[in-house]
Chains A and B, each alone.
Chain A
Amino acid sequence: MSGEPDGDVLRRFARGDERAFEQLFRQFEVEVYGWILRIVRDRSGAEDVLVEAFWRAFRGRAQFDPARSFGAWMRRIATNAALDHLRALKRTRAWPSTVDALAAPAGPDRDTNEAIALAFRRLPADLQIVAALALLEEQPYADIADALGVPEGTVKSRVFRATRMLREELARLGVRP
């Protein structure tokens, strides 16, 4: 995580100073974008979520306590924005093209990759997030729990449920791990 910004910058941000906000954006954009990208797994979508997340941060600046970590606060906002993005995609079914955005050419073969990506997308958004972060990105459960604002035990149970659902969905699609 980026080093914590100067306390004065954080206080100015909390008061609505746009220069301080830009300074924070420049310091954290790559880190926040990387986190969002791990969740939504689509570069264009991740940029939209990045804009939304920083906009939400600015709107909610009065709730930010300058004595606490800006990076952790921002990551939680970004996670919620990414979750809303995934839910919206599920509602509209406006998914990016499967293999280009979600999967990579590596792996057993293209059809299998498509099926795995499809099974992944069929998970409920809250399970998809933990599955992406825990199973694919190998992020520590504690970090995921912090970003989602839930206890670590909840993350573990969601990973368990996601694993079970993925296994069932893959079986339905005729893919055997």
Chain B
Amino acid sequence: MQHDDEHLREFLKAALPSMRSERPSRDVWPLIAARTSARPSWSLADWSAAAVVAGALLLFPKWFWFLAYHL
């Protein structure tokens, strides 16, 4: 069994040899930097929550202190 596994391993390695370690083909730092400096954008859920809160305050202004306490 162990001999079979070793044989399979050699067979696989012949077809899929080890990947040579090398540098990336391009400098990817600008892509990372663009992501880190991007301001977090609001998702649809964020906008929906803000709209619900704003609507609730327009309809029920007295809720302001209740919401201010809980948010």
> Are B16 and A104 in touch, CB under 8 angstroms?
yes
- Whether B12 pairs with A112 at a CB distance below 8 angstroms is no
Minimum CB–CB distance from A126 to chain B (whole Å) comes to 18
Interface residues of A in 147-177 (CB under 8 A from B): 163, 166-167, 177
Give the residue name and chain of the A residue nearest to B37 (CB).
Answer: A18
Closest 8 CB pairs of A and B: A34-B21, A107-B15, A177-B11, A116-B15, A107-B14, A113-B15, A37-B19, A177-B8
* Bound Cα distance A112, B12 (Å): 10
Having A21-B36, A37-B22, A107-B15, one finds 19 other A-B pairs with CB under 8 Å, namely A18-B37, A30-B23, A41-B16, A50-B28, A51-B31, A58-B36, A103-B15, A106-B14, A116-B15, A120-B12, A135-B12, A136-B12, A136-B13, A136-B17, A137-B18, A163-B8, A167-B8, A177-B7, A177-B12
Contact partner of B18 among A21, A108, A116, A136, CB < 8 A?
A136
The listed residue (A25, A46, A112) touching B32 by CB distance below 8 A is A25
Secondary structure of the B side of the interface? helix
Report yes or no: A33 in contact with B15, Cβ–Cβ below 8 A: no
B36 touches A116 (CB 8 A): no
Verify A103–B21 contact, CB threshold 8 A. Answer: no
How many chain B residues touch A (Cβ–Cβ < 8 Å)? 27
Q: How large is the interface on A (under 10, 10 to 19, 20 to 34, 35 or more residues)?
A: 35 or more
**Residue from B7, B16, B23 in contact with A116 in the complex, judged by beta carbons closer than 8 Å:** B16
Inter-chain contact B16/A120, CB cutoff 8 Å: yes
Contact for A25 among B5, B8, B29, CB less than 8 A: B29
Q: Which residue of B lies closest to A138 (CB)?
A: B18
CA gap between A176 and B67 in the complex, in Å = 69
Can you spell out 15 A-B residue pairs with CB atoms less than 8 angstroms apart? A18-B36, A22-B29, A22-B33, A29-B24, A30-B21, A30-B22, A33-B22, A47-B25, A104-B17, A107-B16, A112-B15, A136-B13, A136-B16, A136-B17, A163-B8
